[in-house]
Each structure stands twice: as C-alpha cells, then as structure tokens.
Amino acid sequence: MSNTKSMGMLLQDPSVPELFQDYQFPIESDFLTGMSSSKLTLQDTGEFGDLRYQGLDWATADLSFDTLNKNGNFIDNPQFHQVNTFAVAAYTLDLVENAIGREMKWKHNAPLVLRPHAFDEANAYYDVESPSLNFGSFTSPFRRTPIWTCLSHDIVSHELGHAILDSFRPQYVYSEEIDTGALHESVGDMMSMFTALSHRPVVERLFRESGGDMMNPSLASGLAEEFGIGLWGVSFPFLRSALNGVNYDVAPGEIHDRSTVWTAAIYEILAKLVAEAIPPTAKATLQNAPTFSQSKPRRNIMQQSNPQQQMAFEDYYAQGDNQCDLDAFFSAIIAASERVKGMMLRALQDIPPTGVTFPTLARVLYNADARLFPADPHPRELAKEVFQRRMLWNEDIDLSAPGIGTRFEEASFAGNTALMRAVYENAEALRIPMSEGARILNARVSTVTRTVDAGLEQRGSGTKTMTERYLYYSYEMMIDLCPGLGFFILIAKGGTLVMDENWNDLQLATDPDTLITPVEQVSESGEPAGARIVRLAKERFTRIHHRSLRAFRDGLVDANGHLPSGEHALPFKIVKQSSGATRPVRHRCNLKEHLPGVAGKHGGFPFKLD
C-alpha cells in the first residue's frame, strides 16, 4: 500500500497547461477525510456560506491529474479546482515546514480554510478575521473560458504567504509601521518565487528563457500570468520588481511598492548564490546555449514560444553533456533556494511580535543564520553585502542581549501572572518605556526545537537540531502621532528576547527599533531612553506619511480613509474600540491591488481595474 496520495496540480496556471505534476500527499503521517487534512480544509462555498460545487471523498477518490483532466478539460472541472487549490497550498506548506524545522501552527489553532470559488470577481485575498484563502473568478475579453484564480500556482502560494506570516505574527495587522505591511506583501511574493523555483519543469522553462542567468530580465514574466492576460491581454512582469526594487533609503511610501525593496534584496542574494554554485564548465557552455527571446510580454494567451527556438533548445539539451548544464543549474537553484528560504523564514521567529522594520529584519536574519550554521558563513556574509549596498543594513540598531534571560526560567513555568511580573520587573532592560505610560499587555515563552536537513543548506550531510527559547512581550501606548492634528491612536509595541536552551539570552529585537546612542549625547540631552524611542518612532511615522498627514490636516481624506486620487491615505484604517480609543488595523491585501502595485508601477503598465 502506498504511503502517499497523488493529487494533481498545475505548476503555473492554465496559460502553460503542459506544466503540471502530481503532489504526493503523505497519508502515512497525515490524513484525508472529505476534503480536509489536519492543517487544511477545503470548503467550496461562497464568502457568505452558499454552496458552490460538490466535492469528492478524497480518502477514496483518484485525485491524479490524468484522472481529473477529463477529456483534456481540467479548466472546467470544479473537482480539479478543489484538488489543485489544496495541493498547491499543501506543497507550499511543506516547503515552509522543511525550512523552519517544525510543523506550522495556524493562529486560530484549526485547519486553514480554502475557498476555491469564493466569489465572482477578478480578485483573491486572505481573510485575517476568519483565517481563510478566498479565490475569485471572472470572464475575460481575451479568453473564451473563465479565469479561475484558484488555478494559479503563484496566486495560491502568494495568499498562503499572508496566512503564514499572520500565524507567525498575528499582531502585525495592527501595526502602524509601514515596513510591517510591506513585509506581508513581500512574504507572499517570495513564497510564489520559492515554490516556482522548486519545480524542475518550471526551472527548465526559466533556463531556456534566460540562458541560466538569474539576473536576466527575461525571467520577468512570472507571477499570475493568466490573471494579467485575462484582464489586460499582457502578462505581469513580476520578477522585474525583484530585479528593479529601489534602495531602502528612497523606498516609496505605498506598501506594495515598498515591498519590492525587500523582495529585490532576497532575490539578488538568491541569484548570486546560484551563479556561484554553477561549475565553471557549465557556465562556459551556458553562454552558448540557445535561449527564447522574452523581451516583450506575450500579447495573447494562445501565443506560444517560437517553434524553431523550441526545437533548438530540445536538440541542444538532448546531448548528454549539455543536459549536465541544466542539471547543474537546477541543483544550484535548489541549494540556494533552500538556504535563502530558510534564512528568511527562520528570521520570522526572531522578530518582534508587534511590528518590524526591514533593517531590523536584515540584522535578525543574519544573526539567526549564524547561530544555526556557525561554520558556513558565506551565504549570510553575501546577504550582508547585498543589504549594505541596498541601504538595508544599520549597525546602529541595538540587538544586544541585556543579560536577563535566566530571570524568566522559573517564571515561565509558574504561570502568566509570574511571567508578566518578571517582564514588569525587567521593563527597563527590555526597553519598555514605562515612564511614557506604557501598559504591559502580554508575555509568553516559546521553546522551539527545529531540525533541518543540513545537507540541503550547507556543505555536508545529515540533520542539524537546535533548541532555542523566545520571550515575546507586548505593551500599548496612547500617542499623538502627528502633534497639532489631534491624531491620537492606541498602538501596540513589544520585543523578542532570544535565548539558548539554557536560558542565556542571545539577542533582543524591539519594536520600535532601539538605536545605539553615544553616552555623551544621552548625558547632554537628559532624555530618558523610553522617551527617545517613542520620539524617534513618531518622527519616522511623520516623515514617511507626511503627504497623507497633510491631507488629513486639509480635510482631503474622505470618510473611508481615501485620498482624492482614490488611494488609501494610510496603510491602515483607524478603528474605534469599545473603550472609545482608536487603533490602526491594516487594510486587507487584495490581489487586484497587489499586482498592479508590484508589477505595473515597475513595469510601466498603466493598470486600472475599474
């Protein structure tokens, strides 16, 4: 009896139907019942609970692509839509769990809901209030059949990225820090990128389009291709945003645009590691390999690659030596992706629970990799070089350990009251500005033992296991973000204290960032450390959002928080609490807003969805 269940899935979307495979669901360690497993449950209902399509009993049905592709028409088979959505989400989740070295646990302690036919609209979104992935469909003047967003490997993995970060850091939806919202968008894009690069057929396609050069702009046609063609007749130049993301010091204030700053940095690290890993002999022959010209986006969904180029490529790689070049390219991508994906996802364990800036994330990413792979520094040193050049590296951010880790050992086992008291008694060391009216909200200690395949991420073999402990704490403050406007809101801040298994603290990352201040400046100003942290955070907020704040001052923002241009004035809405206080709540990420943000503005397309 097989220990897996074959589930058909597309590796991109119906615009390239030849790219498919069967995902092997591990029924030995998990289970399928109805259309659910222990971590994912598929509900074929609309947004308001109305039943859309009947499903199969996945425990007994044949779910392979060949079976579900009835008469070659998988596009119109709702049962295939269901299986594809689940298989892509499960496959992406596998990649995440392998990288973090432990099982993923959703924030609501229940399986994540997947709705492949949630509504009739050119959109898809992750619902943070009722954790679920919701996919729409629409008709297109460029297609004779409907466009189903649930059939896009990129869209499903992107939306799953939102669910993953929301489960790592559920308080991020309440952060007023603009980098926090941008990180949500970037994580979704990176999940699409990493899942695509893990499939050999997709890599082969990229290889013949780029000649093995990861920085070749021909790789720029990737994300949600069918979605873009269905709306505008052109594909999205997704990776162009990864190639052309601006430096952090000139980062735009709109969160989708801003997300490309981080995505571009991660992609450059990946591309450089791939280039280094390809053997010199393969590099020499790659320069002479036939490629497909992809300088212009495809104008029609039915347009295919030049047949002569296709034949030239197939003839070239039918030769054994040249096939080795492709093998070397794919092996290099797999190795580099494993390390970079692991660095990125493990860093999410270390960042503050309430919000983060990209420079803090860069520093934390470097430190986390150093703790896990102390003898293999090159990938993180390369990452540091990229971060420095892109203005994402700030040595002035204080991540030093205060030396108080052992004070939380006994309290962590004594209950919540004891732990909260320990945080209160060490508030100054934890950089909590009690003198500025901070009120401690919560504290928890998490012990994580992660096991990673060291052979995949560094030279060597076998597995590597490491145990670490994390103190997560948060507090809230009522502040006037923009003096003179009466813009008072209740914000949550906090920090993460990383400790080893013996409770020795290793790093303290805070939100807002704590910057190292020379002793002489502290003595001259007399400003308490807590007051300085709050002041710098307010100044940063005002500097980034000065345009929107002027609009608030001049009465140019409507009741829904929109500027006259129709854009959101701020990356969050202001919601009144039952106590009468207001707090920021991040706007829901809609696919129809995200893709024009990351692709249109960088690709020069005048996208408009009205």
Within-domain flag for 567: yes
CA distance 223 to 236: 6
- Structure confidence by residue, pLDDT tens digits, 221-245: 455 565 555 554 555 555 555 677 8
**What distances in angstroms separate CA 75 from CA 17, 52, 152, 300, 553, one per listed residue?**
10, 16, 11, 18, 51
The pLDDT value recorded for residue 525 is 63
> What pLDDT is stored for residue 364 in this prediction?
98
Q: Residue 53 is part of a domain; what is its CATH number?
A: 3.10.170.10
Residue 54, domain member (yes or no): yes
What is the C-alpha to C-alpha distance for residues 27 and 31, in angstroms, rounded to an integer? 5
- Over 60: is that where the pLDDT of 477 sits? yes
Whether residue 15 is contained in a domain is answered as: yes
Q: Which of 144, 168, 192 is the last residue of a domain?
A: 168
pLDDT band at 564 (very low <50, low <70, confident <90, very high): confident
Choose from 108-117, 331-340, 574-583 the range with maximum mean pLDDT. 108-117
405 lies in some domain: no
Higher pLDDT, 140 or 406: 406
pLDDT for position 12: 86
Sign of CA dihedral 80, 83, 86, 91: negative
The residue-averaged pLDDT of 334-359 equals: 94
Domain limit, last residue, from 110, 145, 168:
168
What distance in Å separates the CA atoms of residue 200 and residue 119, rounded to the nearest whole number?
Answer: 33
Q: Is residue 143 part of a domain?
A: yes
Which residue, 189, 257, 220, is CA-closest to 596?
257
Residues constituting the chain? 610
C-alpha angle 155-97-508 in degrees, rounded to nearest 5? 105
**pLDDT classification of 549: cutoffs 50, 70, 90:** confident
pLDDT at 294 over 90: no
Residue 184 sits at φ, ψ, to 5 deg, of -55, -45
Closest CA to 535 of 477, 577, 590, 588: 477
Residue-range definition of the domain harbouring residue 69:
1-168
Q: Which of 121, 144, 168 is the last residue of a domain?
A: 168
SS3 453: strand
What residue type is 300 in one-letter code?
Answer: N
CA 68 to chain centroid, in Å, comes to 31
Number of separate domains in the chain: 2
One DSSP character per residue, 40-70 reads EEE--B-TTS-B------TTTS-B-HHHHSG
Pick the more confident residue, 441 or 203: 441
Q: Does residue 351 surpass a pLDDT of 90?
A: yes
Confidence class of residue 288 from pLDDT cuts 50, 70 and 90?
low
Residue 600 is given by DSSP the state: I
Cβ contact 481:176 at 8 Å: yes
The per-residue pLDDT for 142 is: 64
135 within a domain of the structure (yes/no): yes
- Whole-model pTM: value is 0.86
- Does pLDDT of 442 surpass 90? yes
Query: Domain for residue 32, yes or no?
Result: yes
Residue 36, in any domain of the structure = yes
